[in-house]
A and B are shown apart, each in its own frame.
Chain A
Amino acid sequence: MNDTTPVPATLDAGHLQELRRGTVVLASLLALRTPGYGYALLEHLADAGVDVDANTLYPLLRRLESQGLLTSEWNTDESRPRKFYRTSAAGESLAGRLLDESRRITDALVRLSEGEAS
């Protein structure tokens, strides 16, 4: 059965945001296995297809740092001093578990959608 009741755009956006919410932490931990600073990470994530706002990402980086999942270092070599973050060992291990969980959820969703189609 194909139910095509139109869904309001705001409702759509709300559900999408809900689905994406947890993925920003995982994306950051994965991306920062190569050290990076705030604005560069924002661009990097956007290019990779992970939409996140600057005012969400910057506080998140500091929170992950305080939880020991990221380490940081000020780089003063260039004209503009920047704070570089890098995923710690604890961060790597959490990223692995989150990635496994994310794959498991995706597999489950794929099975469900295929089961519905057949």
Chain B
Amino acid sequence: MTTPTLTERYIAAVVRRLPEKGRSDVASELRASIADDIEARLADGTDPQIAERDALIELGDPDRLAAGFAGTPLQLIGPAVYLDWRRLLTVLLSIVLPIVAGALIIAQALAGAGPVDIVLGTMGTVVSVGIAMAFWVTVVFAIIERTGAADRPLVSWSPDSLPATTAKPQVGVDVLVGGVLGLLLLVAGLVSQSVFPAFRDAEGTAIPFLAPELWSWWIPYFIVVLVAELVFAIVLYRRRSWSLGLAVGNIVLTLAFAVPMIVLVLSDSIVNPAFSAQLADVPELIELGGQAMVVTAIAVAAISLWECIDGVLKAARARR
């Protein structure tokens, strides 16, 4: 007679996962099968303890065997509904998260929160909302997988559901619009600060918003960079698709604009000190201006980072 403990523990571990009804039947059959196996091993001259261990090792993880008996899937979401899960999650996240982010930014701005608080608060909430949505969608699909409803996709596929975007050229007129708009905004800003100044000095001369020292180097520099970006946009538009070289050029131009801009903004060299002095009696405005500078720096960094990544992604897509 062999020691029953290990075998009985194994059988108990298998049947506890099974519905009450079939348990004793599975247990009895499994007990006989294991005993047969041990007997055969003993006949080959194996030590009894080792024979039992080996027999159980061959049967493997009791939970896996139980899943075989019960017919339960060994995956959270199977291939039948995986694509439905991914599509639903993508659509939900891409619709809900921007709405949540927008609502949060507006609500916090109305409540008078500072720019850093707004950015951090919004990012934190958007991440937790995204995680919660992914969790609950996954739970629902795991239930669908386990109730046996998952032997075929929930939404059947037809050629009508093919995306329409593939026929469109990768690069549209919008790249030109962006390039022209950037240059126009700069020129308009430069002209308006001397034509429609907010403040004039005692002699009636306009006090420009931008620091006059910028004219010696930085304003011409930015004009050159923006013209280069416009030329780049024209080249891109004529090629009609991205390439690795264009992606690298895009990164160089974007950084050529963003890095000096962020440095100037953060070192407080953009605004004319004479202009700030006009505001000195309204401390709230000074503080608001400081916060606006931080927001501008973050926005320039974020947009530039996205532009660099976007170019690389589109170049990679165009290679396929």
Which residues in chain B, 49-93, are within 8 Å of chain A measured between CB atoms?
58-60, 64-65, 68-69, 71
Q: A35-63 CB contact bits vs B (8 Å, 1 = yes)? A: 00111100100000000011110111011
The reply to whether B65 and A58 contact each other, CB–CB distance below 8 Å, is: yes
A82 interfacial by beta-carbon distance below 8 Å:
yes
B166 interfacial by beta-carbon distance below 8 Å:
no
Smallest beta-carbon distance B200→chain A, Å:
81
A8 interfacial by beta-carbon distance below 8 Å:
no
The reply to whether B32 and A58 contact each other, CB–CB distance below 8 Å, is: no
B46 interfacial by beta-carbon distance below 8 Å:
no
Contacts of A58 in B (CB 8 A): 29-30, 33, 65, 68-69
Interface footprint category on B: 20 to 34
B214 interfacial by beta-carbon distance below 8 Å:
no
B36 interfacial by beta-carbon distance below 8 Å:
yes
The reply to whether B65 and A82 contact each other, CB–CB distance below 8 Å, is: no
Which residues in chain A, 63-83, are within 8 Å of chain B measured between CB atoms?
63, 74, 80-83
Smallest beta-carbon distance B309→chain A, Å:
36
Give the docked Cα–Cα distance between A80 and B166 (Å). 68
The reply to whether B33 and A62 contact each other, CB–CB distance below 8 Å, is: no
Smallest beta-carbon distance A18→chain B, Å:
16
B295 interfacial by beta-carbon distance below 8 Å:
no
Contacts of B71 in A (CB 8 A): 59, 63
The reply to whether A55 and B64 contact each other, CB–CB distance below 8 Å, is: yes
B211 interfacial by beta-carbon distance below 8 Å:
no
The reply to whether B36 and A55 contact each other, CB–CB distance below 8 Å, is: no
The reply to whether B36 and A40 contact each other, CB–CB distance below 8 Å, is: yes
Give the docked Cα–Cα distance between A30 and B69 (Å). 22
B37 interfacial by beta-carbon distance below 8 Å:
yes
B270 interfacial by beta-carbon distance below 8 Å:
no
The reply to whether B33 and A54 contact each other, CB–CB distance below 8 Å, is: yes
Smallest beta-carbon distance B55→chain A, Å:
9
The reply to whether A81 and B33 contact each other, CB–CB distance below 8 Å, is: no
CB-based nearest A residue for B69? A59
Interface residues of B (CB under 8 A from A): 22, 25-26, 28-30, 32-33, 35-37, 40, 58-60, 64-65, 68-69, 71
A-B contact list, 7 entries, CB within 8 Å: A38-B33, A40-B36, A54-B33, A55-B64, A59-B69, A59-B71, A83-B32
